[in-house]
Amino acid sequence: YLKISKLALAFAIIHSKPPGKSSREYTEHLAKIVSGQDFGWKWKVEVLEAEVLRLRQELLLNKFCPRFCLEKNASAETLLDQESVNSTSYSSQLEDSGCDVSNDTAFDSLGITSDFHQSEHNVNISKRWLERVPPLNLCRTSKEQFLTAPVQFLQHLLEIRKLSEGGILQADFSELENDSFTICSSVSQLVDGLIVFYNSPKFPTSDFLTEAVCVLINLITDTKLSNHVLKKCFKKLEEFKKNLIQIILRKSSVNRFQALHSVSQTLVLLGRNNILRNSLISLLLSEVRQFAEQLLQAHQVQSVYDITQYENIFPLCMILEQLLQNETEKSNVSSSGYEGEEKVKFLKNLDQIILHLSDEFPLFSLYLWRVSVLLNSAQMQ
């Protein structure tokens, strides 16, 4: 039947082709028209899927907090404009100097200088959050607006959790397993939006995007919600970490260091989660080891190496060292607590690699040695 259908279509195209055009040209013309129609339908499907997700979010929040509602026609412009105004103080970072001129205060709310996930929100602020109507814009005219819906849904969910823990609000999370699809879909949308931003970042970074990362980290560290989220979204979060690592390695723009700083801080925060930490350390060890072996090979045969990738490997080394150091301080022992196949591969022949690279690449060799010390600290003790 399929062969007959294809043959009939071919005859129909041949018989209906206009004069002056070959059958091939006419077929390509028809294919473009059909593909354009498919694109329009795909866009409509995306909009409808976003609307279905919005309704699921509204139903779930209404289940936990009956007075809560989401308004479809509300505009996200007010919130985004406010965040844009708040971020104007960082306009001095736009100089194309090629140097890392990022302002660490932009990431204070992410817990770089304080443990944000342990701080208690004021009850009045939490109540106001519940009373606010979170805007949702399906037009996706900007990367921030693409993140608006999942960020605000997850943020309100976290606020309801905190209010229920404090006894201010009665919310039943016992059947959360049955509703985890909506939460995981929102997490997936949030992660995809962050990847879009990190691939083509806009500076200065708005507080809204900083808040998006904050919401994701809060969600995966929440004792009630994280188990359900990580169970269903583990693969998505693993892909997220891999994508962030590749973004760091592949960045080649002149003034890329602000973007690398943002991605690095996000990876460090993800590494604070006990479940995600070991897999992230394994990924980092693998990338650093492979680069060290490639650099050694290039050095031995005196071939050209990628200077951009050499510069970009240092953020990965710093992330790796920080994760191992944090684990050491947290456990208050000399061991990093990490045991895995990548550790064995990393330490194998590492002394020889450091020996051969130390004269030509002293800083990179120093980082390799520092990481090896953290990995070997238990045996040394």
Whether 65 is covered by a domain: the verdict is no
- Looking at the fold, whether 153 and 247 belong to one and the same domain comes out as yes
Alpha helices in 251-361, H assignment, sequence order: 257-270, 274-300, 307-331, 341-347, 350-357
The whole-model pTM stands at: 0.70
Q: Please indicate, yes or no, whether residues 300 and 358 belong to a single structural domain of this protein.
A: yes
Q: What is the pLDDT of residue 351?
A: 92
Same domain for 315 and 222: no
Q: What is the pLDDT of residue 210?
A: 82
Distance CA 257, CA 318 (A): 14
Indicate if 246 and 215 belong to the same structural domain.
yes
153, burial (CB in 10 Å: exposed 0-12, middle 13-18, buried 19+): buried
Contact by Cβ (8 Å): 281, 316: no
Given a contact cutoff of 8 angstroms between Cβ atoms, the answer to whether 323 and 265 are in contact is no
Of 230, 256, 282, which residue constitutes the final position of a domain? Answer: 256
Residue 148 within any structural domain of the chain: yes
| 182 and 277 inside one domain | no
Q: Is the pLDDT of residue 239 over 60?
A: yes
* Segment 28-46, tens digit of pLDDT: 988 888 887 777 777 788 8
Rounded to whole angstroms, the Cα distance separating 134 from 274 reads 31
Among 132, 175, 174, 178, CA closest to 156:
132
Regarding whether 211 and 281 lie in a shared domain, the answer is: no
Q: Is the separation of the CB atoms in 235 and 241 below 8 Å?
A: no
Tell me if residue 222 falls in helix, strand or coil.
Answer: coil
- Per the prediction, the chain carries an average pLDDT of 76
151, 214 contact by CB (below 8 A): no
Average pLDDT on 321-346 reads 73
Q: Does the pLDDT at position 56 exceed 70? A: yes
Average pLDDT over residues 334-358: 83
**Residue 243: inside a domain, yes or no?**
yes
Q: Are residues 232 and 282 in the same domain?
A: no
What is the pLDDT at residue 175?
Answer: 66
Query: What is the model's pLDDT at position 110?
Result: 46
Q: Say how many domains are in the chain.
A: 2
Q: What is the DSSP letter of 20?
A: T
Longest alpha-carbon distance in the chain: 86
- Is 290 within the bounds of a domain? yes
Same structural domain for residues 233 and 307? no
Q: Which of 225, 256, 287 is the last residue of a domain?
A: 256
- The residue ranking higher by pLDDT, 2 or 140, is 2
Given this model, what pLDDT does residue 325 score?
A: 86
The CATH number of residue 198's host domain is: 1.20.58
- Other CB atoms within a 10 A radius of the CB of residue 354 amount to 19
The sign of the CA dihedral 343, 349, 355, 356 is negative
Q: Supply the range of the domain harboring residue 222.
A: 141-256
Structure tokens belonging to residue 357: 């690279």
pLDDT at 72 over 50: no
- The verdict on residue 57 lying in a domain is no
Compute the average pLDDT of residues 231-243: 90
Last residue of one domain, picked from the residues 229, 256, 283: 256
Would 196 be classed as within a structural domain? yes
User: Could you tell me if 300 and 361 lie in one domain?
Assistant: yes
pLDDT digits (tens, 9 = 90+) for 155-207: 888 888 888 777 776 766 766 777 778 888 899 999 998 998 888 877 666 77
What lies within 8 Å, CB to CB, of 354 at 6+ separation is 365, 368, 369
Q: Quote the pLDDT of residue 166.
A: 74
Q: Specify if 295 maps to a domain.
A: yes
Same-domain check for residues 374 and 319: yes
Reported as a single tens digit per residue, the pLDDT across 217-227 is: 988 888 778 87
Tell me the three-class secondary structure of 29-75, residue by residue: HHHHHHHHHHHHHHHHHHHHHHHHHHHHHHHHHHHHCCCCCCCCCCC
Same domain, 349 and 278: yes
Beta strands of 99-247 (E only): which ranges?
Answer: none
In terms of domains, do 375 and 284 share one? yes
Decide if 11 is inside a domain: no
pLDDT at 105: 44
Lowest mean pLDDT among 13-27, 40-54, 136-150, 277-291: 136-150
